[in-house]
Structure 1
Amino acid sequence: MVNVLKAKERTSDRHSQIRELREQGGIPAIVYGYKTENTPISINNAEFTKTMREVGRNGVISLDVEGKKLNVVLHEYQEDPIKKEVIHADFLAVDMSQEIEANVRVELSEDAEGVRNGGVLQQILHEVVVTAKPDEIPEVISVDISGLGIGETISIAEIRGNYSITINHEDDEPIATILAPRVEEPAEEGAEPAGEAADSETEEA
């Protein structure tokens, strides 16, 4: 079942009206894409937050613009850096039978063997670009790193076969690696600590 999000058309982008809309719990937005002209709209902040929590970042939403329903995905959004609230949203209208590109978060699952042995996990790729039909885009790409040892790297090639979608990255692009633990070099024999050397010089003077 596709979640429905109600929207109203906007007739003005004046700063004063945008500010008033936000003060009343709304979010200025725009919808464009498949069989749709660029249309300024407004949505309710609470309803938007609830819908995104239910469908996920790449989920398909049925956007009801004053009775006209469109299948859309959240394409881009702007967030207030202090309040962490969405202040503008772009919706892309999609044809459910046609593939689109989307960014999908990479999530590392399981503790790596190398980390248990003292290594340091470094995640290199936090997002991947995929191509798939709108309702086949996953919320996350999960990568099992349980067998990754110190000095080893897992790359795109090793996860490509786990998904039926197209991952738009080179096979050798690294996702994560386990770095060797840092080893502190021992102090040279006969070397005096800096403080003691300074004290000796003072006494001789």
Structure 2
Amino acid sequence: MVKLQAHSREDLRRSVTRKLRKDGYVPAVLYGKKTESTAVSVPSIEFMKTLREAGRNGIIDLFVDGDGKKHQVMVHDVQSDILKGDTTHIDFFEVDMKSELDADVAVNLVGDAPGEAEGGVLSHMMFTISVRALPTEIPEQIEVDISGLGIGDSIAVADLKSGKNFEFNNDDEETVVAVLAPTIEEEPAEGEETQEEPELVDNDEDASEGSDEQ
């Protein structure tokens, strides 16, 4: 488990929150099924290091100043400034280590599909898959081997069932990845003439002649 120190937040005014971010901290909230919602803040740099070490679905030991408790949490949500890329808010969800929960896990395609080399189009349809497992059994990613996919082949959720310590929540029929046949543009049949645009006639001369006759 990785550790992260948090500070309690009592003053929730926007001006104070802005100052927190300016000073290198990220406003956050700690909550859970049996945990009362608590406003906290964490050092931005330390949080990013912790997230990289624990992984997106990893368990973090969160300690809050003056609390005296160890909160085992998952990062439920991270909000960021689209323009600056800075983290602006974090949701820490305290988990029950003995109870299963649902989590979205990233899909990582492994290998090269022969069908793609033959001109097919690789279509990655599901970038995350929902799983149910104990907090410590949630995988960081789901690897999907595409090295056997030819044109017209696909891999569905049912193909990923492998008796791991987690189960998938998605429907078995949902397609994770497929190799589609290339789109072929139809060419005009031999001897078929292409319709040409009608030629525009310049009527300026006719108009001038008509004006002279008047």
Partner Cα separation in structure 1 for residue 6 and residue 69 of structure 2: 10
**Which has the higher mean CA deviation after the structures are superposed, 145-154 or 47-56?**
145-154
Q: SS in structure 2 opposite 1:42?
A: strand
Which secondary structure state, in structure 2, belongs to the residue aligned with residue 46 of structure 1? Answer: helix
Q: Report how many residues are paired.
A: 200
Larger Rg: 2
Structure 2 partner of 1:27: 26
SS of residue in 2 equivalent to 1:13? coil
Q: Which of structure 1's runs of 4+ aligned residues deviate more than 4 A? A: none
**Shift of residue 191 of structure 1?**
2.3
Stretches of structure 2 lacking an aligned partner (at least 5 in a row): 204-214
Structure 2 matches for 1:35-54, cutoff 5 A? 35-54=34-53
Amino-acid identity (%): 43
Could you tell me which residue of structure 2 aligns to residue 73 of structure 1? 74
Name the structure 2 match of 1:158: 159
Under a length normalisation based on structure 2, what TM-score does the superposition of the two structures give?
0.87
Deviations 1:47-84 (A, max 9, x none): 00000011110010000111421100001111111112
Instruction: Provide the alpha-carbon RMSD of the alignment.
Output: 1.9
Q: What is the rounded CA distance, in whole Å, between the counterparts of 2:118 and 2:173 in structure 1?
A: 25
Q: Which of 158-167 and 174-183 deviates more? A: 158-167
Unaligned runs of 5+ in 1: none
Distance 2:200 2:79 in 1: 62
Q: TM-score, normalised by structure 1?
A: 0.91
Partners of 1:182 and 1:190 lie apart in 2 by 22
Structure 2 contact 80–89 (Cα < 8 Å) conserved: yes
User: What is the CA-CA distance between 1:117 and the residue it aligns to?
Assistant: 1.2
Q: Could you tell me which amino acid in structure 1 is paired with residue 77 of structure 2? A: E
* Paired AA for residue 151 in structure 1: G
Displacement of 1:34 = 4.8
Deviates more, 1:181-190 or 1:91-100: 181-190
Q: SS state of the match for residue 21, structure 2?
A: helix
